[in-house]
Amino acid sequence: MLKGRSLIDPRDFTVEELKEIFDLADDIIANPKKYAKICEGKLLATLFYEPSTRTRLSFEAAMLRLGGKVLGFSDSSSSSASKGESIADTVRVVECYADIIAMRHPKEGAATVATMNSKIPVINAGDGGHQHPTQTLTDLLTIRRIKGEFSNQTIGICGDLKFGRTVHSLVKALSRYKNNKFVLISPEELKIPDYIKKEVLEKNNIEFVEVEKLEDVISDLDILYMTRVQRERFFNEEDYVRLKDSYILNEEKMKSAKDDMIILHPLPRVNEISCELDNDSRARYFEQARNGMFVRMALMAKLLGVCE
């Protein structure tokens, strides 16, 4: 039963509960009119303390397409956080006005604090360099719609694996399905955190390798998940400038990839995927962004209890 629950970490829901969300998202994609009024009278609050294009707008589009309404802020300087109001007090007030909250915050753990103080469902729309579970729902729906399953895949994850919260959530989520292998491609300074390696991969006996060169492994991959170097999480600009162009996926590198390998990216992209690849049939990142709206429709419908 998902009604009334919050989503902070992709593993807050069982694989069966996730399947319910993906099945509903597929049905919404096939029959959008059937769902056009199911959230009439419902209000989504989007509390975004950090910049966003896809996550905030897809949440808002999702609620509007379900017949509900939205309110919120997209810049903490226009909220009372700028006067020193705590997250706890903010959600205690927002729950008086809205039925569900989507919150993005630069601090790891902020969404957990919000959930502990809220009587309405809270959805983590990204907390610092920690987790981004609705991006993971987006990624998984895209993989399921293209590959038909989440198991038996060799998944290359390339770029900033240290600060990339979408990476941490995706590894956690895909580790629950059978026979997946991870190829973790990053510079030494941007390797995946030890807690993900120890508590997720090693603890569950998941096969993984860590490499530095994309060219050495691209031919093995079924899925290539590219990520941008997260400038906003660096302590100094010098390190960012040195690392920002570590990987640039282009036509030349794609010559070695399988014909059915798919390229995913949570976006925004900076330089890490050359625009010359946008028309390659294996480039699925804009379709992935579109799926994000449908899966957020399904998620909110379930948490609000307006869909079985």
List residues with catalytic annotation.
54-55, 83, 104, 132
Residues 195-234 that bind ligand CP (CB under 6 A): none
Tell whether residue 34 is among the known ligand binding residues. Answer: no
Tell whether residue 33 is among the known ligand binding residues. Answer: no
- Indicate the residue among 258 and 290 with the shorter CB distance to ligand CP: 290
Smallest separation (angstroms) from ligand CP to the CB of 290: 12
- Indicate the residue among 197 and 265 with the shorter CB distance to ligand CP: 265
- Amino acid occupying residue 134: T
Smallest separation (angstroms) from ligand CP to the CB of 226: 12
- Indicate the residue among 90 and 131 with the shorter CB distance to ligand CP: 131
End-to-end Cα, the chain, rounded Å:
9
**Does residue 268 bind ligand CP (CB under 6 A)?**
yes
Tell whether residue 296 is among the known ligand binding residues. Answer: no
Tell whether residue 267 is among the known ligand binding residues. Answer: yes
* Among 135, 142, 153, 154, interactor with ligand CP by CB under 6 A: 135
Tell whether residue 83 is among the known ligand binding residues. Answer: yes
Instruction: Give the x/- contact pattern for ligand CP in 48-87, rule: CB under 6 A.
Output: ----xxxx--------------------------------
The region of 75-83, 239-247, 248-256, 266-274 touching ligand CP under the rule CB under 6 A is 266-274
Q: Please answer whether residues 300 and 154 qualify as being in contact, where contact means their C-beta atoms are separated by less than 8 angstroms.
A: no
Tell whether residue 134 is among the known ligand binding residues. Answer: no
CA distance 150 to 263: 15
**Does residue 184 bind ligand CP (CB under 6 A)?**
no
Q: Measured between alpha carbons, how far is residue 9 from residues 108, 127, 170, 221, 304 in Å?
A: 12, 10, 10, 26, 18
Smallest separation (angstroms) from ligand CP to the CB of 231: 12
**Does residue 129 bind ligand CP (CB under 6 A)?**
no
Q: Please answer whether residues 131 and 165 qualify as being in contact, where contact means their C-beta atoms are separated by less than 8 angstroms.
A: yes
Smallest separation (angstroms) from ligand CP to the CB of 304: 22
Hey, how many other C-beta atoms are within 10 angstroms of the C-beta on 201?
Answer: 18
Q: Phi-psi bin for 128: left (phi > 0), alpha (psi -120 to 50), beta?
A: left
- Indicate the residue among 128 and 307 with the shorter CB distance to ligand CP: 128
**Does residue 159 bind ligand CP (CB under 6 A)?**
no
**Does residue 130 bind ligand CP (CB under 6 A)?**
no
Instruction: Give the x/- contact pattern for ligand CP in 12-51, rule: CB under 6 A.
Output: ----------------------------------------
Annotated binding site for carbamoyl phosphate: 54-55, 104, 132, 135, 267-268
Contacts with ligand CP by CB under 6 A lie at 52-55, 126, 135, 266-268
